[in-house]
Amino acid sequence: MPKLTIDDKEIEVPAGVTVLQACEMAGAEIPRFCYHERLSVAGNCRMCLVELERAPKPIASCAMPVGEGMVIRTDSEKIRKARNGVMEFLLINHPLDCPICDQGGECDLQDQAMAYGFDHSRFEENKRAVPEKYMGPLIKTIMTRCIHCTRCVRFATEIAGVEDIGLLNRGEHAEISTLERAIDSELSGNLVDVCPVGALTSAPYQFAARPWELRKTLSIDVMDAVGSNIRVDARGRHVMRVLPRLHEGINEEWIADKTRHACDGLARQRLDRPYVRGADGRLKAASWSEAFSAVAARLKGTDGKKIAAIAGDLCDAESMLALKDLMANLGSPNLDCRQDGATVGEGPRSSYLFNSSIAGIERADAVLIVGSNPRWEAPMVNARIRKRFLQTGMPVGVIGENVDLTYQTQYLGAGPETLKELAEGRHPFAEVLEKATHPMLILGSGALARADGPAILALARALAEKAGMVKEASGDEPAWNGFNVLQRAASRVAGLDIGFLPGEGGRATAEILSGAESGEIEVVYLLGADELDTARLAKAFVIYQGHHGDAGAQAADVILPGAAYTEKNGTFVNTEGRVQLGRLAVFPPGEAREDWTILRALSGELGEALPYDNLGMLRASLVERCPVFAAIDQIEPAAWEPFGQDGSVDSAPFVMPIANYYMTDPISRSSETMARCTEALNKGAEKATGTDG
């Protein structure tokens, strides 16, 4: 632990940190452009100069490791002058277009120029201008503003794992380039965040708003089951943009492109008033009381066994609990939160959680991915696996489709047979897993959402036990559970936690659909469920409660307009089992209401009001019945209990459930930006039409 003196203050720092980090620890702020905590050190902007005693000239603190007894000054006149000089050089070719720049107000260069810039320019020659580059539908470039820090190059290469960006030419002619190709990454939106100036800005957000006009709400993302922490920036009643929020356990400081850019879908195709299908078969706008009485009229006298409910992928826990209670009042055991038709999840918590936690991936030393494409199903999880892969070069085996995951993988096989070989120890990779101290298995919905799901779950469990993936804590070593199920739907874990599952003698999704076809199910309540074959519900009376006019609404007889995730206070549980609170950023449009209030109001109309009058009472009820909801943002390790069901497995290969990353739910399907991304980046997905999951 070297000791050094920073601005007359003695401080002891861990060996191996840089002078810049040591200065931060000592509370001295160091300006920087090229340095970024999560990227490699480039040392090319020279803004972080500090004075080192006995050094002949100022040093770039970001690239200098600390040494014993160093005496550093960060605030001397000499340093100030040096930084002023660096700033003057940076501004030589930087245009003075802050008033029309989208970065204005949140620009590192602007802020630091306030501290270190001159009030006038001594540069009388012409400035250089650089032509714009094409970087895909998400990133707008104004390359004249670029200061060549190469953060974008390093982010793409190191974090996103796509070598698409580079710095061409040299000296005054240096320019960032993608060779005029779109950046083929699900994390490309983060390039805008790492760019310290306005060279890379968000294309969908261009000229939309100024940062000081926006109302910022800290919330949770629902585009996948990772539960990335986000900040929703809204102006008036519009969500203008979504930005990442730091959470070391989940998304670090990045978010995926769908999380960031699907928000323009919140303003399109919205259900802003109730609708009732008239005698002529057309949906007609109605008032809430008309819609409720239409529902009440249909439900009156209908046997509970003929009523069913399916919850979709974006639902909050509160509305699912309210619907569950409503179905109990109606005497219906037919409810399911697994609209993809999976039949697993009824077992203990450890059978459906990402038990190792996302941060726990950084302890793993061998990974087996089964029936999953984490790059599309959970980009933040994939980024974590890549991070760990870069640290250790750990072996990663893949069973399922052989896709490019941005790190090196070993392709083991396409289907359950390979998994069986591994579980029985007949496959060479089984040895790799057994030798590892922290082996990890990631089981995706491509493997579980099929008829033989329970048997595959049992196989995976057998493999986990055989390879020693579940370990008690011993000595200094904390416990390890490498058995991971990677969920895809934001609502799934909460739904399973509260038991939004078929009751005694109840039907699961597949049986609800077949029952609706045969007439055994007469009423189906869809709570934001759109990724279904809604044509099979044609005979049934369909009540659709949701926020977008998607597949579910088209098949509905009554539409009850609900709130999207940015418009309600809702609880979500991510794939790790982490309970997080999403917050209301804007109010739902028109007549739409928060989902649990609709169910509460409807229950009153049907005769027996649900026993909660406000969100607090509903949450209290939630916690009472399911104590995990009490611990916000914490992970309670799930007990390792028996689950799965031995049985024969189908040898059909695992099929990836997502055909198009950019369109997986009603919000992203309504988003113009996501449509552009699909066009530019998802070639080959032409076969994927509207409602693929």
Partner 1 sequence: MRVLKTTSYDAPRTDGFAFTAENKAKADAYRARYPEGREASAVLWLLYLAQEQNDGWVSNDAIEYVAAELGMAPIRVYEVASFYTMFNLRPVGRYLVQVCRTTSCWMRGSDAITKACLEEAGTASLGEVSDDGVFSVVEVECLGACCNAPMFQVNDRNYFEDLTPESARAVMAKLRAGEEVKPGSQSGRAGSEPQDGAKTLLHLAQSPAPAGEGA
Residues that bind partner 1 (CB under 8 A): 126-131, 133, 163-170, 173, 175, 177-180
Nearest CA to 632 out of 483, 494, 472 is that of 494
C-alpha span between 418 and 400 (Å, rounded)? 9
Please, what is the minimum distance in Å from the beta carbon of residue 163 to partner 1? 3
- Compare residues 166 and 425 and give the one whose CB is closer to partner 1: 166
Residues 610/418, Cβ–Cβ less than 8 Å: no
3-state secondary structure of 479: coil
DSSP type of residue 8:
T
**Alpha-helical regions (H) of 406-549:** 416-423, 428-435, 445-448, 453-466, 492-497, 509-518
Please, what is the minimum distance in Å from the beta carbon of residue 146 to partner 1? 12
3-state secondary structure of 310: strand
- Compare residues 170 and 687 and give the one whose CB is closer to partner 1: 170
Please, what is the minimum distance in Å from the beta carbon of residue 662 to partner 1? 24
Backbone angles phi, psi at 364, to 5 degrees: -65, 150
Nearest CA to 112 out of 62, 47, 59, 34 is that of 47
Please, what is the minimum distance in Å from the beta carbon of residue 406 to partner 1? 12
C-alpha span between 297 and 36 (Å, rounded)? 61
- Compare residues 177 and 372 and give the one whose CB is closer to partner 1: 177
- Compare residues 115 and 179 and give the one whose CB is closer to partner 1: 179
Residues in the chain, overall count: 693
- Compare residues 141 and 491 and give the one whose CB is closer to partner 1: 141
Please, what is the minimum distance in Å from the beta carbon of residue 181 to partner 1? 9
Sign of CA dihedral 459, 462, 466, 470: positive
- Compare residues 168 and 652 and give the one whose CB is closer to partner 1: 168
- Compare residues 171 and 505 and give the one whose CB is closer to partner 1: 171
With tokens 């670029």, the residue in question is 146
Please, what is the minimum distance in Å from the beta carbon of residue 125 to partner 1? 9
3-state secondary structure of 366: strand
- DSSP letters spanning 54-105: T-SS-EEGGG-B--TT-EEESS-HHHHHHHHHHHHHHHHSS-S-GGG-TTTT
- Compare residues 178 and 251 and give the one whose CB is closer to partner 1: 178
Residue 212: Cβ within 10 Å count: 8
Please, what is the minimum distance in Å from the beta carbon of residue 102 to partner 1? 21
Please, what is the minimum distance in Å from the beta carbon of residue 96 to partner 1? 13
Residues 20/61, Cβ–Cβ less than 8 Å: yes
- Compare residues 42 and 512 and give the one whose CB is closer to partner 1: 42
Please, what is the minimum distance in Å from the beta carbon of residue 540 to partner 1? 53
C-alpha span between 11 and 2 (Å, rounded)? 9
Please, what is the minimum distance in Å from the beta carbon of residue 489 to partner 1? 35
- Compare residues 159 and 490 and give the one whose CB is closer to partner 1: 159
